[in-house]
Amino acid sequence: MNITIRQAERDDAKAVAPLIYDAIGDIANNLTGEEEVSQILAALEQYVTETTNRHSYLNTFVAEQQGEIVGIVVLYDGRLGYKLDRQLEQQLAKKGIQTSLDIEAHMDEYYIDTICVSKNARGLGIGTLLLQFAEQKGKELGYEKISLNVELEKQDARRLYEKIGYRTTESWTIINEPFHHMVKSL
């Protein structure tokens, strides 16, 4: 298995958007202000091509296998989360949607916003490679810890994160849904 992880590019948006949607599910409705799957995917594709939101290609890294994108990880500085979300709120306001997006990380954390492996590539260790990549990137940037949020019902994911050193530090709420906030020292 030859997997390459690289910075996403604008042209990757069509492959990246469905993976974001797969990872965040209904949260995508709130982030895009859309209800129909095709419209949600179109809005997510647009977000990937932009530079001012959390799902920008600038914050996204893709795992490729034989030229096909098989996974993604979206990473950013916890200090930037607030700014990225305010810009997204302004975009939604232009659509007539008034919303306040929840902060997802503490200011001193390197944050894994979204991680997903395509259905046909699961179980091959790609998710673990993406997590290792994120941790290495955080170390290179001088962070002492990395974090992520996992939905309460995603027990298998939580066990995987615990197995590789993440610990639940607190409960967290994102768009009125409960999450475990998990942190790993780098």
Alpha-carbon span 24 to 81, nearest angstrom: 16
Residue carrying the six token digits 């490729």: 64
Which pLDDT tens digit goes with each residue over 65-89? 999 999 999 999 998 888 888 888 8
What are the angstrom distances between the C-alpha of 10 and each of 17, 29, 62, 117, 125? 11, 22, 12, 19, 26
pLDDT of residue 142: 96
Q: Which residues of the chain have pLDDT under 50?
A: none
pLDDT of residue 92: 84
Total-model pTM: 0.93
pLDDT of residue 51: 94
Question: Nearest CA to 15 among 56, 71, 59, 55?
Answer: 71
